[in-house]
């Protein structure tokens, strides 16, 4: 009677609370190669947590530790080991395995048919299992004794642990092995879609389940289907799929948990990329925590990586180095597999692999691409292996979603600039001038980050050698070009401007003091000689009489006479004299006139 009441309670509460807070089961990890799997684990329930009619209910107690043995063959090489543990309550997430502390890396939760919380936890313990190998594993550190009293009246008190071990063996066929996990529950009906499958043939295909809270004593309509095929085996009847059994040890006393494996040959079809798992139950509350599938799979898995690119200034032609590999595969990648290149979504061209790429192998290639003018300077460069211009492939692969590699790409161009004006300095004689173009960089460059340098030849500017180091005071004979290199770090531009001179107005010093301090010994006029080569200078006394004339071929006036009634070369008396300077230059059509004082 107590069991009947318990079952009625479960039926009622299942309608309102079952599967609340569940996490959908989905692909966690995929393995492609010569892989298989095994489960080990044990329950913390000493007996079924429900009773048969007429038999007293089990005590409300639970174990705090249990053990299981790992017995792999000598040639089995452990690849991954995942520990799951579960129980009544909100969770215990730090446990022990052979006295080694283990902390949960992922957790799951669900509410059972009585509205009480249950939990599961996960840890990747590969390194630990590889280090210990075949041995007895003892699980401890999860004492639910104080948690389970509210669960016992409805038979919801449980606890247990399991390790899913993926191993590799060279003698195995090429398989695809998928590990799915989450937390979903019945009663009622649940449907779980297992995606990312590639069924080549179904020989040796199998599926394993890690489930909690299955009961041997409740077998009313508890069914497990794959692709609508009802599953059963010697341990798991068609009406009681989850019944406290372990397919790996052939045990039927794994109370309130299941480690079950089914042969699904004939239940899947070649070409399937997914399978549908359906569970139904009218009474028994069962939580599915993990599902593992193993299918024969002989497919390549083309992956591409962009290794490097080359580009040139002011060019839309680029070169791309790439590597096509076949890493997570179970079959070689055929030769002549197409590689397509795209700028954003625009097809650019591509190439083909040369040789057959073995499992785990790779091949490097290079492709030169011309970027159309319609593509902006900044774009996304995308290389796709096993793709044509339309994005369609010709090779069936394990994973069709990992065929592309992308990078942000920018074409490079020579920097734009403001054309520099010619620079004019005063003629210092012989067409020589002193030029200051130290302010030209800011005048020339358009971008603050560009670098500007000056050179004497176009060849030096292109090679970036023999830079002019004194642009603030360069002495040069004009006319002379100066070449400018404007660089943005990637590319450069070269332009030029001319250095020119002009005859600036001469500067007259109005004192002549022969035999004085040597500076004013003669009539000094800066910027005159060898500049205004056709000048004529005339000196007059205060009465207007011409006393001296000179030009570019004669020495400067030293206070002596060369004209008039005095003999040439005679000293003139001190006083004020007047000059007329005829420059005979188109820029200075009018003579310059002024006074000069002769000091005696």
Rounded mean pLDDT, 134-152: 97
pLDDT score at 541: 94
Q: Is residue 37 within 8 Å of 168, Cβ to Cβ?
A: no
Distances in whole angstroms, Cα of residue 546 to Cα of each of 180, 512, 543, 557, 567: 118, 17, 9, 13, 13
Tokens of 295: 């299918």
DSSP 286-314: EEEEEEEEEEE------EEEEEEEEE-TT
93 pLDDT above the threshold of 60: yes
**pLDDT classification of 6: cutoffs 50, 70, 90:** very low
Going along the chain from its start, the domains and CATH numbers come out as 2-296 (no CATH), 303-410 (2.60.40.10), 423-502 (2.60.40), 505-600 (2.60.40)
pLDDT score at 569: 61
- Average pLDDT taken over every residue of the chain: 90
For residue 223, the cross-strand partners are 280
3 pLDDT above the threshold of 90: no
SS3 150: coil
267 pLDDT above the threshold of 90: no
Overall size of the chain counted in residues: 600
pLDDT score at 2: 30
Assessment of whether the complete model's pTM goes beyond 0.75: no
Q: Edge-to-edge strands of the sheet including 536-540? A: 511-512, 592-598, 575-582, 536-540, 546-551
Share of the chain above pLDDT 70, in %: 94
Rounded mean pLDDT, 92-98: 98
103 pLDDT above the threshold of 80: yes
Distances in whole angstroms, Cα of residue 277 to Cα of each of 263, 473, 566: 14, 87, 134
257 closest CA partner among 153, 140, 163:
163
- CA dihedral of 385, 387, 393, 397, whole degrees rounded to 10: 10
pLDDT score at 19: 37
For residue 262, the cross-strand partners are 207
pLDDT score at 239: 85
pLDDT score at 260: 95
Task: Report the alpha-carbon distance of residue 142 to residue 63 in Å, rounded.
Answer: 9
Q: What are phi and psi of 441, to 5 degrees?
A: -55, -45
Tokens of 270: 């070649």
- Which one-letter DSSP state was computed for residue 154? G
List, for residues 317-370, the tens digit of each pLDDT value. 999 999 999 998 888 999 999 999 999 999 999 999 999 999 999 999 999 999
Distances in whole angstroms, Cα of residue 511 to Cα of each of 223, 310, 367: 126, 72, 81
pLDDT score at 517: 65
11 pLDDT above the threshold of 50: no
pLDDT score at 13: 35
List, for residues 217-259, the tens digit of each pLDDT value. 777 778 888 988 999 999 989 888 889 999 999 999 999 999 9
pLDDT score at 282: 74
- Stated as kind and residue range, the H or E segment containing 444 is helix 440-444
Which has the minimum average pLDDT: 36-45, 185-194, 566-575? 566-575
pLDDT score at 331: 87
312 pLDDT above the threshold of 80: yes
- How many separate helices (H) and strands (E) can be counted in the chain? 4, 36
């Amino acid at each position: 009677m107590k069991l009947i009441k318990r079952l009625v309670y479960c039926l009622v509460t299942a309608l309102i609370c079952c599967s609340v807070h569940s996490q959908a089961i989905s692909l966690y990890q995929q393995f492609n190669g010569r892989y298989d799997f095994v489960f080990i684990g044990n329950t913390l329930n000493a007996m079924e947590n429900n009773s048969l009619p007429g038999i007293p209910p089990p005590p409300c107690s639970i174990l705090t530790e249990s053990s299981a043995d790992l017995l792999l063959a000598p040639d089995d090489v452990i690849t991954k080991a995942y520990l799951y543990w579960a129980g009544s309550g909100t969770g215990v997430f730090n446990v022990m395995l052979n006295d080694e502390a283990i902390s949960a890396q992922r957790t799951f939760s669900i509410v059972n048919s009585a509205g009480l919380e249950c939990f599961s936890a996960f840890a990747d313990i590969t390194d630990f299992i590889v280090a210990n190998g075949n041995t007895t594993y003892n699980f401890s550190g999860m004492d639910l004794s104080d948690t389970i009293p509210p669960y016992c009246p409805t038979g919801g008190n449980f606890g247990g642990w399991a390790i899913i071990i993926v191993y590799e063996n060279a003698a195995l066929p090429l398989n695809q092995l998928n590990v799915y996990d989450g937390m979903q529950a019945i009663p009622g009906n649940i449907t779980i879609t297992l995606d990312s499958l590639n069924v080549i043939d179904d020989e040796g295909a199998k599926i394993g389940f890690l489930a909690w809270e299955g009961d041997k004593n409740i077998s009313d309509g508890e069914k497990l289907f794959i692709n609508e095929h009802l599953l059963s085996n010697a341990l798991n009847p068609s009406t009681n799929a989850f019944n406290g059994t372990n397919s790996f040890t052939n045990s039927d006393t794994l109370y309130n948990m299941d480690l079950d494996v089914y042969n699904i040959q004939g239940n899947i079809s070649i070409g399937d990329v997914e399978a549908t798992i359906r569970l139904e139950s009218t009474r028994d509350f069962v939580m599915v925590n993990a599902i593992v599938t193993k299918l024969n799979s002989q497919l390549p898995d083309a992956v591409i990586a962009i290794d490097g690119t080359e580009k040139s200034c002011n060019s839309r032609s680029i070169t791309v180095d790439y590597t096509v590999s076949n890493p997570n595969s179970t079959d070689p990648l055929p030769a002549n597999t197409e590689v397509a290149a795209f700028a954003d979504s625009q097809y650019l061209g591509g190439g083909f692999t040369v040789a057959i790429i073995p499992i785990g192998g790779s091949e490097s290639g290079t492709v030169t691409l011309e970027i159309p003018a319609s593509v902006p300077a900044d774009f996304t460069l995308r290389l796709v292996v096993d793709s044509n211009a339309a994005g369609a492939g010709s090779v069936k692969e394990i994973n069709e979603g990992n065929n592309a590699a992308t990078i942000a790409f920018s074409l490079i161009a020579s920097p734009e600039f403001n054309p520099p004006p010619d620079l004019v300095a005063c003629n210092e004689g012989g067409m020589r001038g002193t030029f200051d173009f130290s302010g030209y960089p800011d005048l020339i460059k358009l971008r603050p980050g560009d670098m500007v340098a000056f050179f004497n030849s176009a060849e030096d500017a292109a090679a970036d050698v023999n830079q002019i180091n004194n642009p603030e005071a360069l002495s040069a004979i004009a006319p002379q070009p100066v070449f400018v290199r404007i660089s943005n770090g990637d590319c450069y531009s070269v332009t030029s401007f001319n250095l020119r001179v002009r005859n600036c107005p001469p500067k007259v010093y109005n004192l002549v003091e022969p035999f004085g301090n040597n500076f004013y010994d003669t009539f000094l006029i800066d910027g005159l000689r060898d500049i205004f080569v056709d000048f004529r200078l005339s000196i007059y006394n205060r009465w207007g009489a011409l006393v001296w004339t000179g030009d570019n071929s004669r020495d400067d006036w030293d206070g002596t006479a060369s004209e008039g009634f005095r003999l040439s070369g005679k000293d003139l008396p001190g006083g004020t004299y007047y000059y007329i300077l005829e420059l005979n230059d188109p820029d200075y059509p009018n003579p310059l006139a002024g006074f000069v004082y002769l000091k005696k």
